[in-house]
Amino acid sequence: MFPSAKLSIACFIAILAATPAALAQGLAPVPGSITFNGQPHTKLTKAPVGSTFSHRLRDAVTGREYIEIYRILPDRSLEIVSRRRYGAFND
């Protein structure tokens, strides 16, 4: 095998190894997110683990609206799994 091919394979393996760690971090909360100042004090005890719900927020600077999707984790904390601009198709 050529030296450059070995390097390419090593880089590919390193990228694959790093990808799950990057995905596991999720999205960072922004002002208006439920988890912006940390996890909420009240827990969703009746919702099943793994269930999701949406939260709508407005950017205080631009006025744009966003929808965040949260997932309930086994310890009853919340994880942001997606954030998208609300009404972005109208721009």
Question: How confident is the model over 37-69, as pLDDT tens digits?
Answer: 999 988 888 899 999 999 999 988 888 999 999
Whether the pTM exceeds 0.85: the reply is no
pLDDT digits (tens, 9 = 90+) for 14-44: 444 444 443 445 799 999 999 999 999 888 8
Residue 62 in tokens: 């631009």
Q: Where are the beta strands (DSSP E) in 1-91?
A: 52-58, 65-72, 78-85
pLDDT digits (tens, 9 = 90+) for 68-90: 999 999 999 999 999 999 876 65
User: Comparing C-alpha atoms, which of 55, 88, 87 is closest to residue 71?
Assistant: 55
